[in-house]
């Protein structure tokens, strides 16, 4: 190995550690809040449909601002925007921890989402710029492994903290960790900006947030007027830029996202509420741990599969595995169901993350991952809204709906992404 190769390997390793920590705290927070949701609902006297806004406010703000965050990274510096996003995220954690009213908590979660909107796309754009492709794949896999650890740690620590100290400490104890990651990222990452990159468009952010919030409200309230308002808002300005969506692999990855998100987010949301009907938060978190362990094994498995198979085939097979796990959950087989969903979701996540930036020019990578993550978190907001409504009928129906969407998403992504 030459000196240049050694320096490149060290740099890739440092980037992998920092960005893995970024993904870890984001996933840890999401799982921890999902575990704590019943306690939060009880504390504020919220119904399940109102309580879902603890998760949805975060997803709506994140999904709506991601494209702006990605474009800001391209234009003004990816490291700068990543660090700024983490600082805002930490501020939202502190505000949530001290919230005394439900609306303050919802607002704090939206602040967290806005911060993550600047951190997430710039983290993935940084990875996508790595060369050669094998190094890039290993870093993507390392970030996915960190996500698996975040799932396991969020499930266990979320239950432990909620049951022992109270749900507020879930936010308060995470804030200094996020701040430490921000300081580290500022010191070790190189700045990467493209002065000729497209400038952010605040109107697009406002449209995305407004349309998504209205759509979530329409689904949960069954108000036809809200659906009409969504169409009116989208008629003013489309959310995603057509120029980027002409990239075949990005378009296919976005088409496959609903299947992956319904499988993973649906399992987390419906599964933790289902388990806490009879279990304490800690017991529910421990029961959910196999999902995180399966993600740990699924991430390196994805890297090996992608070296041997076309990504569309890997993704389709992973979604079939997810759907099988969701059917098992609907039938009451919790352990095998969680393991299958964890394995399938990990492989799908690594596969789609790589496909999204496969053919995108370097100057557009931040924007491309902004588009991809926008679609991902908008789907996340809709998952919670749809399944919160479905849960009024039964948990079994919620899991079966998620399984059906998982299969359809796998089919859509694999067909659209096939080589010509």
Is 195 part of a structural domain of the chain?
Answer: no
- What CATH number corresponds to the domain at position 89? 1.20.1250.20
Tokens of 276: 């806490």
Q: Say if CB 188 and CB 77 are below 8 A apart.
A: no
- Mean model confidence pLDDT for the chain: 79
Q: What count of other Cβ atoms lies within 10 Å of the Cβ of residue 397?
A: 15
Find all residues with CB under 8 Å of 337, minimum gap 6, and list them.
267, 325, 326, 327, 328, 329, 331
Is 4 part of a structural domain of the chain?
Answer: no
Q: How many domains does the chain have?
A: 1
User: Is the backbone of residue 77 left (phi > 0), alpha (psi -120 to 50) or beta?
Assistant: left
DSSP assignment, residue 235?
Answer: H
- 363: part of which helix (H) or strand (E)? none
Q: Say if CB 326 and CB 279 are below 8 A apart.
A: no
Is 406 part of a structural domain of the chain?
Answer: yes
Is 172 part of a structural domain of the chain?
Answer: yes
Beta strand residue intervals within 195-347, DSSP E = none
Is 196 part of a structural domain of the chain?
Answer: no
Give the separation between CA 317 and CA 344, rounded to whole angstroms: 8
Is 287 part of a structural domain of the chain?
Answer: yes
- pLDDT, tens digit only, all 420 positions of the chain: 565 556 666 666 777 777 788 778 877 887 788 888 888 988 898 877 778 788 878 877 877 777 778 778 877 888 888 899 999 999 999 999 999 999 999 999 999 988 988 887 788 777 766 666 666 667 777 776 777 677 777 778 888 888 888 899 989 998 998 898 888 888 777 666 565 555 666 666 666 667 666 666 666 555 555 555 555 555 544 555 566 666 777 888 888 888 998 998 888 888 888 888 788 888 887 887 788 788 778 877 887 888 788 888 889 999 999 999 999 999 989 899 999 998 998 899 888 887 877 777 666 666 676 677 777 777 777 787 788 778 777 888 889 998 999 999 989 888 887 776
Find all residues with CB under 8 Å of 42, minimum gap 6, and list them.
none
Is 258 part of a structural domain of the chain?
Answer: yes
Find all residues with CB under 8 Å of 153, minimum gap 6, and list them.
24, 28, 31, 292
- Strand, helix or coil at 333? coil
Give the separation between CA 43 and CA 172, rounded to whole angstroms: 17
Provide the residue range defining the domain that includes 163. 9-188+201-417
Is 194 part of a structural domain of the chain?
Answer: no
């Amino acid at each position: 190995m030459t000196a240049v190769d050694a320096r490149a390997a060290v740099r890739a390793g440092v980037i992998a550690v920092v960005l893995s920590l970024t993904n870890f705290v984001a996933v840890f927070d999401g799982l921890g809040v999902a575990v704590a949701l019943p306690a939060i609902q009880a504390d504020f006297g919220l119904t399940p449909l109102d309580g879902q806004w603890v998760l949805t406010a975060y997803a709506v703000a994140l999904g709506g601002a991601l494209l702006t965050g990605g474009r800001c990274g391209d234009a003004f510096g990816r490291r700068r925007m990543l660090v700024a996003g983490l600082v805002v995220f930490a501020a939202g954690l502190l505000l949530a921890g001290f919230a005394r009213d439900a609306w303050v908590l919802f607002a704090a979660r939206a602040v967290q989402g806005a911060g993550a909107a600047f951190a997430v796309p710039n983290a993935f754009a940084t990875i996508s710029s790595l060369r050669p492709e094998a190094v890039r794949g290993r870093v993507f896999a390392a970030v996915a492994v960190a996500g698996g650890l975040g799932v396991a740690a969020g499930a266990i620590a979320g239950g432990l903290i909620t049951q022992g100290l109270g749900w507020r400490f879930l936010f308060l104890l995470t804030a200094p960790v996020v701040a430490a990651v921000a300081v580290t990222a500022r010191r070790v990452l190189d700045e990467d900006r493209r002065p000729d990159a497209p400038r952010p468009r605040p109107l697009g952010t406002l449209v995305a947030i407004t349309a998504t919030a209205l759509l979530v409200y329409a689904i949960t309230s069954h108000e036809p007027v809200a659906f009409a308002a969504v169409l009116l808002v989208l008629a003013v300005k489309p959310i995603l830029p057509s120029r980027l969506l002409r990239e075949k692999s990005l378009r296919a990855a976005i088409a496959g996202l609903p299947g992956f998100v319904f499988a993973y987010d649906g399992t987390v949301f419906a599964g933790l509420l289902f388990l806490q009907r009879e279990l304490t938060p800690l017991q529910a978190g421990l029961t959910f741990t196999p999902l995180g362990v399966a993600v740990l094994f699924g991430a390196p498995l994805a890297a090996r599969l992608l070296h041997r198979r076309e990504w569309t085939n890997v993704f389709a097979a992973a979604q079939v595995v997810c759907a099988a796990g969701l059917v098992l959950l609907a039938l009451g087989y919790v352990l095998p169901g969680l393991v299958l969903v964890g394995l399938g979701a990990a492989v799908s996540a690594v596969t789609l993350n790589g496909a999204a930036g496969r053919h995108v020019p370097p100057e557009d990578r931040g924007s491309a991952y902004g588009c991809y993550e926008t679609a991902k978190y908008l789907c996340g907001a809709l998952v919670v809204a749809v399944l919160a409504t479905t849960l009024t009928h039964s948990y079994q129906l919620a899991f079966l709906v998620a399984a059906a969407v998982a299969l359809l998403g796998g089919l859509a992504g694999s067909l659209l992404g096939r080589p010509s």
